[in-house]
Amino acid sequence: MKHPFHFKLQLAPFFPYLHPLLTPTFPRCLWTGDLSQPEICLTFDDGPHPDYTLALLKVLDSYQIPASFFWLGQSVERYPEIAQAVYQRGHWIGLHGYQHQSFPFLTEIELKNSLEKTQDAILKACGLEPKFVLDVRPPNGLFLPQTLTLLTSWGYRPVMWSVVPEDWVHPGVDVVTHRVIKQTRNGSIIVLHDGDHGGKDVAKTAEKIIPKLLEQNYRFVTIPKFWQSAKPVI
């Protein structure tokens, strides 16, 4: 049985070329921030993890860098104290579904339940209000127009990415770092992983890319800042 990441693995090498096509085609998704500002968003999927997330937090703490995390509901339920540690440091929290299941393969009821269970787990672990946990990143980056219609009708905000270095296949810290530095531009949303797939190198990777990006005078912000500059869809 192929791992669900198989789908993203096939698309990721071509994503820098697909991104300019996907962005205008699906304007309800957040793909980038303000292209005129040297602001970037560092995001992490699939956590929280008892080892990888805690190691990552130490790196983010040392540079005082805010990040955005998209969590699996089942992982939040397993490690609520780690979820709380992330939130208490001021990082932004979003949804990645209860399990790592591609949204188009779920029925409408299954998708709604997956998001609500994940949101409930985050609210319980972090003591948040529902209005602060509305950003959703589809697992594997897979969605259909109908998926977006459902998400927006339920009040969620779809968040994608623009820099995809394939850290989940473990090409090595240096390779991932090179890909991130090469692809990052004003407004970039960088996606890394702090879960079971890709998380083992995430702290070392963050330790390398953050100072390099700071040297290029980028400012690290979280997803809400990018929504402020997003053009409204009529």
Set 96, 193, 194, 201: catalytic member = 193
Residue 3 catalytic?
Answer: no
Full DSSP string of 28-83: TSB----TTS-EEEEEEES---TTHHHHHHHHHHHHT---EEEE-HHHHHH-HHHH
Residue 45 catalytic?
Answer: yes
Establish how many alpha carbons lie within 13 A of residue 119's alpha carbon, considering only the half-sphere containing its beta carbon.
Answer: 18
Set 45, 167, 194, 201: catalytic member = 45
Angle at 67 between CA 228 and CA 173, to 5 degrees: 130
The SS3 of residue 126 is helix
Residue in the structure block whose two tokens are 């959703």:
136
Active site residues: 45, 193
